[in-house]
């Protein structure tokens, strides 16, 4: 993404509305076959990835729907009229649309999605347009966004793509943005502190991907593309990061092998 000066750090995206009902079947999802061919670059959230991202999540993240349902539930628990929800790295806005469906389109709750990938924002906008949604979309860097006070902040598999040297700073910003009692719900791929167990967890995950229809070749290709791009922490490192940066508690809501969803309360 090319940006010229601080005034263009963020771009509000306006999506015209077509007002499809929520139950309408709209063919947004294409099958992920990206890694059936040799990789030529590191993994990035470009147009090719955005086009198949919803399918990629469902087939690459164990119990993705279940973890998102938990995220939605606990977000709603912390949310009241007039509150703000931020989704950092909102990708195609699927979770925000589900939250909007729960609170109703006439609610005074503001749902704000931020993503630095123009391709992801484009796909999110198509959904928002189709559903007549009031979700606010911004294209820009979550590290620099001018946040307003919020009740809920969500980050689904986003922190792991933030460089470790600035990850703590982002979590501090998240804490500072939340009202007292506000919640930060984040999902992450995690690593084990024990090397042997970590290998077993990875093998378990690769077996899961094979069941989802990915070939050994695709699995290896994606692993190489993500090398030094996705940098996961251990469970304890994630929890301690939250506690060191303004949260009074941080606990695990859900875990499957090396995938976990956390909730941190300010």
Residue 17 has a pLDDT of 55
Residue 23 has a pLDDT of 38
Nearest Cα residue to 65 out of 205, 219, 231, 259: 259
Residue 88 has a pLDDT of 98
Q: Average pLDDT in the 256-265 region? A: 98
- Read off the pTM: 0.90
| Residue 161, SS3 per DSSP | helix
- Say which DSSP state 159 is in: G
Pairing of strands 84-88, 110-115: parallel
Question: Each residue of 193-239: pLDDT tens digit?
Answer: 999 999 999 999 999 999 999 999 998 999 888 888 899 999 999 99
Bridge partners for 155 per DSSP: 186
* Domain assignment present for 59: yes
Q: Which residues of 30-48 are buried (b: 16+ CB within 10 A; e: fewer)?
A: eebebbeeeeeeebebeee
Helix (H) or strand (E) holding 260: strand 259-265
Q: Average pLDDT in the 133-141 region? A: 94
Two tokens, residue 4: 């010229």
134, 100 contact by CB (below 8 A): yes
Domain span holding position 138:
11-22+42-265
SS3 assignment for 59-90 = HHCCCHHHHHHHHHHHHHHCCCCCCEEEEECC
* Domain assignment present for 122: yes
Q: Average pLDDT in the 121-143 region? A: 93
* Domain assignment present for 4: no
Angle between helices 64-77 and 94-103 (to 10 degrees): 40
Question: Each residue of 2-31: pLDDT tens digit?
Answer: 223 333 456 777 776 544 444 344 445 688
Two tokens, residue 183: 């919640």
* Domain assignment present for 2: no
13, 138 contact by CB (below 8 A): yes
Where does the pLDDT of residue 191 fall: very low under 50, low under 70, confident under 90, or very high at 90 and above?
Answer: very high
* Domain assignment present for 32: no
Residue 6 neighbours by CB under 8 Å, 6+ apart: none
Q: What are phi and psi of 22, to 5 degrees?
A: -65, -30
| Residue 33, SS3 per DSSP | coil
* Domain assignment present for 125: yes
Question: Each residue of 57-114: pLDDT tens digit?
Answer: 999 999 999 999 999 999 999 999 999 999 999 999 999 999 999 999 889 999 999 9
63, 254 contact by CB (below 8 A): yes
* Domain assignment present for 31: no
| Residue 29, SS3 per DSSP | coil
Q: Average pLDDT in the 115-119 region? A: 93
Burial class (CB in 10 A: 0-12, 13-18, 19+), 12: exposed
* Domain assignment present for 37: no
Torsion over CA: 3, 129, 86, 188 (sign): negative
Two tokens, residue 47: 């147009």
Half-sphere exposure of 232 (CA within 13 A, CB side): 20
Residue 20 has a pLDDT of 45
30, 51 contact by CB (below 8 A): yes
> The CATH number of the domain where 107 resides is what?
3.40.50.150
How many domains are contained in the chain? 1
Q: Is the pLDDT of residue 125 over 50?
A: yes
């Amino acid at each position: 993404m090319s940006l010229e000066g601080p005034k263009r750090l963020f771009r509000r995206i306006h999506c015209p509305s077509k007002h499809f009902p929520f139950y309408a079947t709209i063919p947004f999802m294409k099958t992920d076959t990206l890694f059936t061919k040799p990789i030529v670059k590191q993994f990035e959230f470009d147009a090719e990835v955005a086009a198949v991202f919803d399918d990629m999540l469902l087939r690459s993240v164990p119990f993705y729907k279940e973890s998102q349902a938990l995220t939605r539930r606990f977000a709603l628990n912390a949310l009241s009229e007039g509150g703000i929800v931020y989704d950092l790295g909102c990708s195609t806005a699927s979770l925000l649309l589900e939250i909007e469906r729960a609170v109703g389109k006439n609610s005074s709750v503001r749902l704000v999605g931020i993503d630095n990938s123009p391709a992801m924002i484009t796909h999110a906008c198509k959904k928002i347009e189709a559903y007549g949604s009031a979700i606010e979309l911004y294209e820009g860097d979550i590290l620099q966004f001018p946040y307003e006070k919020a009740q809920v902040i969500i980050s689904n598999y986003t922190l792991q793509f933030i460089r470790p040297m600035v990850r703590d700073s982002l979590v501090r910003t998240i804490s500072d943005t939340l009202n007292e009692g506000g919640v930060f719900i984040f999902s992450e791929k995690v690593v084990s502190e024990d090397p042997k167990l970590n290998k077993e967890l990875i093998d378990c995950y690769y077996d899961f991907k094979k069941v989802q229809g990915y070939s050994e070749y695709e699995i290896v290709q994606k692993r190489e593309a993500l090398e030094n791009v996705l940098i996961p922490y251990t469970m304890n490192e994630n929890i301690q990061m939250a506690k060191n940066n303004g949260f009074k508690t941080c606990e695990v809501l859900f875990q499957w092998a090396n995938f976990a969803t956390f909730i941190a309360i300010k």
